[in-house]
Chains A and B, each alone.
Chain A
Amino acid sequence: MARAFGIVFLGGPRDARVAAPTEVSRWMLLPMGVHALGVVVLGVLPVLGFTLVRGATALALAALPATGTDVLQPMADALTRIGWICGALAAVVGAGLWARERLARGPTAPRRATSPTWACGYGAPNPRMQYTGASFSSDFAARFGAVMVNLRRQKAPLGYFPTDSYLITDCVDAVERRLFSVIQHGDASAGELSGRLHEDDPRIAFAAALIALALMSALVVLAGGPLP
């Protein structure tokens, strides 16, 4: 059990001949970086995200009985203010870090020291280590198990030469399920459509991409309101 734990979670090699673990290539890190950048940009400047959906929201609000008050502009103002505050916080922290780096490189500054991780426990981290979110949530899930439905499907390996085995757990989230069911339906429809198309014919693929592009452009244009 200790060996299995070491292999799975601590990244201990099964065999000495196994290549030393290294970080993945930059090409694999790039998509994660792009996602992280998008999250940070939308977090620091939430008004950008609001601008993306503002047109569609205005269309939906126009269908409701007129209230006489503009509900979107105050929201945009609040988000802009939050963006300024987040930007100021990022600028202050960034300036502080820059100043600290400059001071640390000065001729009279003490040299930085490095040492292995000090805290006791397992102190040999490597890129193969895996973190699990279970420890964060297990206590919470145990206490709220009655309201957090956790679907669990598993097939344990059996015999000397076991066939496929799996463990699937899914904590049902009604809101999330509704959100993702739309995407799943769209994905299934796209998959079915692509199955009917001849993928080896570039003309059909080009025509399909052109139609999709035209549809998306139309949706973007219509999101700004009805055409004059």
Chain B
Amino acid sequence: MSGTLVQTLNVVHGLIVLSMPIVMVGLVNRTKSLWTGRKGPALLQSGWDLWRLLHKRPVYSTASTPLFRAGAWIVLGASLLAALIAPVLGDLAPLRFARDFIVFVYALALARLFLMLCALDVGSSFEGMGAAREASFTAYVEPALLLLIGSAAVATGQTDFSGLIGQWHRTAAFGWLVLPVLAVLFVLLQAEAARVPVDDPATHLELTMVHEVMVLDHSGPELAAMQYACALKMSLYAGLIAALLNPYDPRIDAPACVLASLAIMAGVAIAVGCIESLVARLRMRHVPAYLMLASLGAALCLGATAWLARSA
């Protein structure tokens, strides 16, 4: 494969990563509107909302420190770093090296840490409660991601994240594992991007919020950074699903690979919208069990992969 094609695909990866958060949020909102019999907002409405927020004057809490002002941008920067490592177009990613999945996991953890620190920094009891819930849910979610990466490593023998996810579908055992792997990735998406049934981005009651309560004191450009980072995480996991399912090899048929990834990501957004329209948000005490199911599913995937690899 020529270096020019790789560089072009890396640029396309960057464009997808930067644009799809806005498109995916638009697709989710449009799907939810259609389910309720409305036309709904324009697909790029969230982009205009972000643009409007960027031009607003921020209001900071008198209790906040410089950490609060920097936090939103660190969350955004860490999420962008994770998006550069996560594959979207098959087994390609702009940032790719041995054991880079550890950096991916820690970049997401860094974003989460600063999200929680910002929530604690303003001294609001409700935002502290949201941070506590985020920390608690993280303890259930992270094992699922690491176990899934372990399964991919056993199946493919690769050491970099894009190779692990992008080449998994070429293994013989993938047909047996595709559904549980997709289910685990979908639950991870719901947890990381604060979507129903784990969280409800449309709720107006602080007692039931998780992500939204942590950004209650953010405004203007900082709120835009937080909201974009949250949408970025959704498109990041949708990109992982796209890389997993994409039947085209970017080295052979690059345009088809790009179109297939975009279509799969759009499908994931529509699926998120359908679930949010048809399923109620889980009661808070049932969320850990839901997230633990993802970890259990990932552990079963790891065991099954090891067993299938041994028997092959």
Contact = CB atoms under 8 A, between A and B. Distances in A.
A113 to B, nearest CB: 4
Interface string B209-228: 00001001100010000000
A125 B123 contact: yes
Contacts of A111: 57
B125 A122 contact: yes
B58 A112 contact: yes
B99 interface: yes
B74 interface: yes
Contacts of B124: 117-123, 125
A114 B60 contact: yes
A119 B73 contact: no
Given A97-B70, A136-B136, A113 B128 contact: no
Given A85-B103, A93-B77, A136-B132, A116 B62 contact: yes
Contact of A115 (B62, B123, B128, B216): B62
Contacts of B78: 89
A201 to B, nearest CB: 48
Q: Most B CB atoms within 10 A — which of A92, A114, A116, A139?
A: A139
A206 interface: no
B63 A125 contact: yes
A118 B58 CA distance: 13
A160 B221 CA distance: 57
B135 A93 contact: no
Given A113-B58, A129-B123, A89 B129 contact: no
A119 B127 CA distance: 7
A79 B247 CA distance: 34
Nearest to B214: A119
B59 A81 contact: no
A24 B125 CA distance: 22
B92 to A, nearest CB: 18
B126 A96 contact: no
Interface string B25-66: 000000000000000000000000000000001111111000
B288 A81 contact: no
A113 B74 CA distance: 22
Contacts of A117: 61-63, 122-124, 217
B216 A118 contact: yes
Nearest to A104: B58
Contacts of B73: 93, 96-97, 100
Nearest to B98: A78
Contacts of A137: 136
B67 to A, nearest CB: 11
A115 B61 CA distance: 5
Given A85-B103, A131-B120, A135-B132, A114 B61 contact: yes
Nearest to A137: B136
Contacts of B122: 117, 119, 125
Contacts of B58: 112-113
B252 to A, nearest CB: 29
B98 to A, nearest CB: 6
Contacts of A97: 69-70, 73
B260 to A, nearest CB: 29
Contacts of B125: 121-122
Nearest to A111: B57
B77 A96 contact: yes
A81 B159 CA distance: 15
Given A89-B77, A119-B122, A113 B57 contact: yes
A82 interface: yes
Interface string A62-74: 0000000000001
Interface in A73-105: 74, 78, 81-82, 85, 89, 92-93, 96-97, 100
Contacts of B107: 89
Contacts of A140: 136, 139-140, 288
B60 A112 contact: yes
A35 interface: no
B62 A139 contact: no
A143 interface: yes
Nearest to A122: B125
Interface in B73-131: 73-74, 77-78, 81, 95, 97-99, 102-103, 107, 120, 122-129
Interface string A134-152: 0111011001000000000
Given A85-B103, A89-B78, A131-B128, A113 B63 contact: no
A123 B126 CA distance: 9
Contacts of A82: 102-103
A81 B102 CA distance: 12
Contacts of A112: 57-60
Given A92-B77, A131-B120, 4 more contacts: A85-B81, A117-B122, A121-B126, A140-B139
14 contacts: A85-B103, A89-B107, A93-B74, A97-B70, A110-B57, A112-B57, A117-B124, A118-B59, A119-B124, A119-B126, A120-B124, A135-B128, A137-B136, A140-B140
